[in-house]
């Protein structure tokens, strides 16, 4: 090995880096769409699993009404809620289980479906029912603390004669 002007002859200084990176860039151009597709499918499956289904039964004086619900049991699904949906089946809704009493408010950001919401305490008692307007950013607040909230198509609670004071059985 000889040294000329302080540079070793066997250094990497003579390699054209652009030419060295071209095969990698070509490879990434080919596989990136597949990687993105796998990530999209994976996130869709994750969302579907995290929104597992269940049933809620509302009762009062022997009258029982059942509702099919998707459960928003992860922070990401609870935050997204029913945003960006075009419709909601007539006898279905979304159940939010906060795991403990909370006073969190709801809003209708990016939600085009008119909804009604019921706030339910830990014992299963319906505390309040409120209607919400599509895309309305004003907070919809409960009358106090609650554990569960259920969003349905607007008017579903009144059509089924469900009012504050009813009890619920939540099958999670």
pLDDT tens-place string over residues 64-109: 899 999 887 656 556 666 666 677 888 888 898 888 999 989 988 8
As a whole number of angstroms, the distance between CA 23 and CA 30 comes to: 11
Q: Which CATH superfamily is domain 51-171 in?
A: Protein of unknown function DUF192 (2.60.120.1140)
As a whole number of angstroms, the distance between CA 107 and CA 140 comes to: 6
pLDDT tens-place string over residues 21-76: 778 777 878 888 777 777 767 655 555 444 456 888 888 878 889 999 988 765 65
What pLDDT is recorded for position 24? 77
What pLDDT is recorded for position 126? 96
CA angle 93, 95, 100 (to 5 degrees): 165
pTM of the model: 0.66
pLDDT at 127 over 60: yes
As a whole number of angstroms, the distance between CA 18 and CA 22 comes to: 6
As a whole number of angstroms, the distance between CA 37 and CA 115 comes to: 33
């Amino acid at each position: 090995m000889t040294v000329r002007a302080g540079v070793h002859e066997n250094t990497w200084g003579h390699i054209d880096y652009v030419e060295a990176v071209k095969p990698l860039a070509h490879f990434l151009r080919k596989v990136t769409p597949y990687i993105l597709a796998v990530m999209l499918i994976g996130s869709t499956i994750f969302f579907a699993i995290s929104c597992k289904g269940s049933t809620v039964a509302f009762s009062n004086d022997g009258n029982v009404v059942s509702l099919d619900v998707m459960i928003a049991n992860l922070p990401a699904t609870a935050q997204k809620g029913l945003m960006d949906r075009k419709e909601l089946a007539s006898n279905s809704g979304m159940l939010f289980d906060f795991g403990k009493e909370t006073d969190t408010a709801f809003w209708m950001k990016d939600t085009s479906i008119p909804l009604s919401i019921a706030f339910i305490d830990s014992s299963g008692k319906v505390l309040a029912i409120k209607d919400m307007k599509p895309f309305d950013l004003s907070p919809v607040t409960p009358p106090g603390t609650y554990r569960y909230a259920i969003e349905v198509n607007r008017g579903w609670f009144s059509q089924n004669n469900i009012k504050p004071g009813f009890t619920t059985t939540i099958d999670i």
